[in-house]
Amino acid sequence: MLFMDQHSCEEIIKEVTENLKNYLIEKGYRKTPERFIILKEIYEYREHFDVDTFYTYLKNKKIHISKATLYNTLDILVEAGLVVKHQFGDSCAQYEPSYRLHKHSHAICIKCKKIFEFSSDDLQKIIHKFEEENNFEVTNHTFVLYGICSDCKMKV
């Protein structure tokens, strides 16, 4: 993930917790402890995850939250703009924190499904040029490369 040393991780968790609290109040949702635990764990996890992987991660940490609560909370976190949901190809949905996340793109290995993140100043320049030429504000973008990673290439 393209952010966060330990100090800024703690700062970001405080900020996203406050943002979630305000969002839940604004929408009339309940402020359950589980929602805040899930949010904190997502921001500490620091990797892309699918629901099953994250559910297992929580269980291994002795955090007892139902899968239904996890799904429902993820929906709220996506809605609140605190988590991004990706659908890479035909694989299951992947999630990652989005608050204060540097703009980045993804490359996915089609063999092992590993996700690589990268930033590109050139891509950002193209987006900025498009915005200027079309009087258009890009609020989010997806740029995904699919291929075979070096580890999988060595196995062939």
10-residue mean pLDDT series, the chain (156 residues)? 58 93 97 96 89 96 96 96 82 80 75 80 89 88 83 86
Q: What is the pLDDT of residue 112?
A: 85
Strands (E), the chain: 83-86, 94-97, 105-109, 115-118, 144-147
Closest C-alpha among 151, 27, 5, 16 to residue 97: 16
**Is the pTM higher than 0.85?**
no
Q: What is the pLDDT of residue 111?
A: 87
Tell me the sheet residues that pair with 117.
106
C-alpha span between 135 and 147 (Å, rounded): 34
